[in-house]
Amino acid sequence: MTDFRSIPSVEQLLQTRLAEELIAAFGRPLTLKAIRSVLDEVRASVSNGVDLTRPDRAGILERASVLLDDWTTPTLLPLINASGVILHTNLGRAPLSAATLRAMQEVGRGYSNLEFDLGTGKRGSRLIHAETILKQLTGAQAALVVNNNAAAVLLTLAALANRRRVIIARSQLVEIGGGFRVPDVMKQSGARLVEVGTTNRIHLSDYEQALAEPAALVMHVHRSNFKMLGFTEEPELKEIAIVSHRAGVPFVDDLGSGAFLDTAKYGIAHEPTIHESLVTGADILCFSGDKLLGGPQAGIILGRADLIAKIKKHPLARAVRADKVCLAGITATLLHYLKDEAEREIPIWRMIAATPEQVKARAEGWVKELGQGEIVAGEATVGGGSLPGENIPTFLLSLSVRSPDKFLEKLRNQQPPIIARTENDRVLLDPRTVLPEQEGALLVGLHNVLKI
């Protein structure tokens, strides 16, 4: 018969100072769960003859403490991006401006007039908050903010084209990260997809032939994450809009990244801007809030007031609507553009606008602080499915280490984790994507790993 008498009981363990500390830190119910879990493991080991050494009270509570730490440690953690990819999808895309963070915190910490009209004292609409500034900034008749750009496209199609034909070029049936495909989103909306042209060549006559039959929309999707080169042809947006309008069909442009600034100003390829799309005649425009806009995750729909009104009334609009924190953050981010301060205040635009000389000076400071490493010329990238193949000249801290892969692993285990990259058996860190306020933590982490 197995003897469990030497194993302390739950009550005996709860009478210790360590148990009191665990309860203060993690609460009584969770602490009890951890203690009982450890005791079950101990009894099972003893019963099976696996572990005849009975742990004392301190040993059991230490194991319970490890469990509690494991159960309560968040899996979503802030980290330092030294990879040189500015809009790194896997690392959360755009870091937010100080004003955006303040706005989100202020609205999130208490009550707000989210759906309350302060003038009348009656129920209001959450849709007006970001819409007001979007109309002012873009000149669009109306606007709507939802939780991401995929939702913006899905809602637009569901509201305007359910069971009706939507004409789109074959070259624009793209797949973005995670196996997410534009045609799948379109089909989920209930729209009937009508593909025109070929993979590499689309003519204006293709649209004209498709519009010979009734259609709900003509849609254009910006190929933001790849380029088509060689024997290709595609009409200008303005031409497609004219053909659509001649047939009495609204034209929808899914811009994806949503740039307000001209990327060509910074020595990289021109990314179509929101203003350009509206000027070319788009009736509805959809784009992301967390890519080149530089704000929190959101999907933004701009365009004709009558079409936006239909979109707002669709039942799906409630399912994908933005919450108060998102609306506050998007509004604060948009204000940077309205006040002509985006390049100074929005982190991704500071990164894009930084000159190679400015980046080099930061890297030189790192070498001086670490007492090792060298500065090498390199390239950063915008990332986030934007500007494929476009690189920005930069300077990197290059470290020669025995095992680059193990070094990267140790960097990822720092607090906060540090993400770098390797090339030619050297570890590379790009100051361009490291926020200035994170430099101290970066250098502490590098010191720690270099000492190991």
Q: Which of 345, 379, 399 is the last residue of a domain?
A: 345
Tell me what pLDDT residue 237 has.
Answer: 86
Sign, CA torsion 330/331/336/338 = positive
Tell me what pLDDT residue 193 has.
Answer: 87
For residues 60 and 109, state if they share a domain: no
In a domain, 196, yes or no: yes
Quickly state the pLDDT bin for 202 (edges 50, 70, 90).
Answer: confident
Per the model's pLDDT, the better-predicted residue between 300 and 48 turns out to be: 300
Digit-coded pLDDT (tens) for 129-139 = 999 999 999 99
For residues 197 and 339, state if they share a domain: yes
Please return the burial class of 142, using the count of CB atoms within 10 Å of its CB with bins 0-12, 13-18 and 19+: buried
Q: Which residue has the tokens 């991401």?
A: 148
For residues 226 and 373, state if they share a domain: no
Please, are residues 226 and 195 in contact by the beta-carbon 8 Å criterion? no
Digit-coded pLDDT (tens) for 356-404 = 999 999 999 999 999 999 999 999 999 876 676 678 999 999 999 999 9
Is the backbone peptide bond immediately before 272 cis, with ω within 30 degrees of 0?
Answer: no
Q: Which two tokens stand for residue 228?
A: 């088509």
For residues 302 and 385, state if they share a domain: no
List helix spans (H) across 28-181. 28-47, 57-72, 98-108, 128-138, 149-161
Q: Which of 282, 312, 345 is the last residue of a domain?
A: 345
For residues 224 and 174, state if they share a domain: yes
The most distant pair of C-alpha atoms in the chain lies apart, rounded to whole Å, by 90
Per the model's pLDDT, the better-predicted residue between 222 and 109 turns out to be: 109
For residues 318 and 241, state if they share a domain: yes
CATH number, position 307: 3.40.640.10
Average pLDDT over residues 90-104: 96
Tell me what pLDDT residue 418 has.
Answer: 98
Torsional class of 389: left (φ above 0), alpha (ψ -120 to 50), beta (otherwise) = left
Pairwise CA distance, residues 33 & 54, whole Å: 20
Quickly state the pLDDT bin for 178 (edges 50, 70, 90).
Answer: low
For residues 204 and 303, state if they share a domain: yes
CATH number, position 375: 3.90.1150.180
List helix spans (H) across 339-428. 342-345, 347-353, 356-370, 404-412
- Angle among Cα 236, 290, 126 to the nearest 5 degrees reads 100
Mean pLDDT of the chain: 91
Q: Do β-strands 374-383 and 85-87 pair in parallel, antiparallel, or remain unpaired?
A: parallel
Sign, CA torsion 296/109/323/332 = negative
In a domain, 242, yes or no: yes
Tell me what pLDDT residue 1 has.
Answer: 47
Residue 110 has pLDDT above 90, yes or no: yes
Tell me what pLDDT residue 392 has.
Answer: 93
In a domain, 1, yes or no: no
Quickly state the pLDDT bin for 29 (edges 50, 70, 90).
Answer: very high
Residue 212 has pLDDT above 70, yes or no: yes
Quickly state the pLDDT bin for 50 (edges 50, 70, 90).
Answer: low
CA 194 to chain CA centroid, Å, is 31
For residues 186 and 323, state if they share a domain: yes
Local structure of residue 233 (DSSP, 8 states):
B
For residues 324 and 354, state if they share a domain: no
In a domain, 5, yes or no: no
In a domain, 258, yes or no: yes
Quickly state the pLDDT bin for 214 (edges 50, 70, 90).
Answer: very high
Q: Is the pTM of this model over 0.85?
A: yes
Q: Which of 293, 327, 345 is the last residue of a domain?
A: 345
Q: How far is CA 13 from CA 23, 33, 239, 298, 375, in A?
A: 12, 13, 77, 49, 56
In a domain, 4, yes or no: no
Backbone phi, psi, residue 179, to 5°: 75, 20
Name which of 146-155, 191-200, 309-318 the model is least confident about: 191-200
- Structural domain harbouring 409: 80-88+348-451
In a domain, 2, yes or no: no
For residues 42 and 111, state if they share a domain: no
For residues 241 and 279, state if they share a domain: yes
CA 430 to chain CA centroid, Å, is 20
Digit-coded pLDDT (tens) for 304-333 = 999 999 999 999 999 999 999 999 999 999
Average pLDDT over residues 247-252: 96
For residues 165 and 286, state if they share a domain: yes
Please, are residues 248 and 218 in contact by the beta-carbon 8 Å criterion? no
Within 13 A of 260's CA, how many CA atoms are on the CB side? 25
Kindly give, in sequence order, each residue whose CB lies less than 8 Å from that of residue 23, ignoring residues fewer than 6 positions away. 14, 31
Q: Which helix (H) or strand (E) holds 21?
A: helix 17-26
Q: Which two tokens stand for residue 56?
A: 């004392």
Pairwise CA distance, residues 64 & 42, whole Å: 12
Q: What's the number of domains the chain is made of?
A: 3
